[in-house]
């Protein structure tokens, strides 16, 4: 899986220094934002739960506990209609084409049920 990040030169240099310091440690935990090679370890969400590797499949199925979700939040009065351009944008993002763009950007799209539930909120 390829992950794309926009890094400033100082931030990238700091991340490389961090990783070079933790890579030799046998039990080091890797930051998902660092774009250099490190050994990923399987993680469990809580004590006694099964540990999952950070594979594409486990992340997409939300079994791997170290994931981030992205949200779109809107500030509007209760029951006020969305401005037409905002509604059009949200419908596009939740469409199959929009979710394909999410996938090609290196993120994980909503599954079909999640996208349908979010589209229903717009209706």
pLDDT digits (tens, 9 = 90+) for 91-109: 999 999 999 998 888 788 8
Three-class secondary structure of residue 35 per DSSP: coil
Nearest alpha-carbon partner for 85 in 96, 74, 77, 99: 74
The Cα 72–Cα 78 span in angstroms is 17
Nearest alpha-carbon partner for 103 in 73, 54, 70: 70
Q: What is the pTM of this model?
A: 0.57
Digit-coded pLDDT (tens) for 3-49: 444 444 555 555 555 555 545 555 555 555 555 566 678 999 889 99
The Cα 108–Cα 104 span in angstroms is 9
Beta strands of the chain (E only): which ranges?
none
């Amino acid at each position: 899986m390829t992950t794309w990040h926009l890094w400033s030169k100082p931030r990238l240099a700091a991340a490389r220094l961090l990783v070079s310091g933790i890579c030799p440690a046998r039990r080091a935990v890797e930051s998902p934002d660092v774009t250099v090679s490190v050994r990923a370890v399987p993680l469990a969400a809580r004590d006694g739960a099964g540990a999952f590797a950070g594979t594409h499949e486990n992340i997409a199925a939300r079994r791997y506990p170290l994931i981030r979700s992205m949200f779109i939040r809107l500030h509007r009065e209760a029951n006020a209609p969305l401005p037409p351009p905002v509604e059009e944008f949200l419908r596009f993002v939740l469409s199959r084409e929009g979710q394909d763009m999410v996938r090609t950007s290196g993120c994980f799209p909503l599954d079909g049920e999640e996208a349908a539930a979010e589209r229903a909120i717009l209706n």
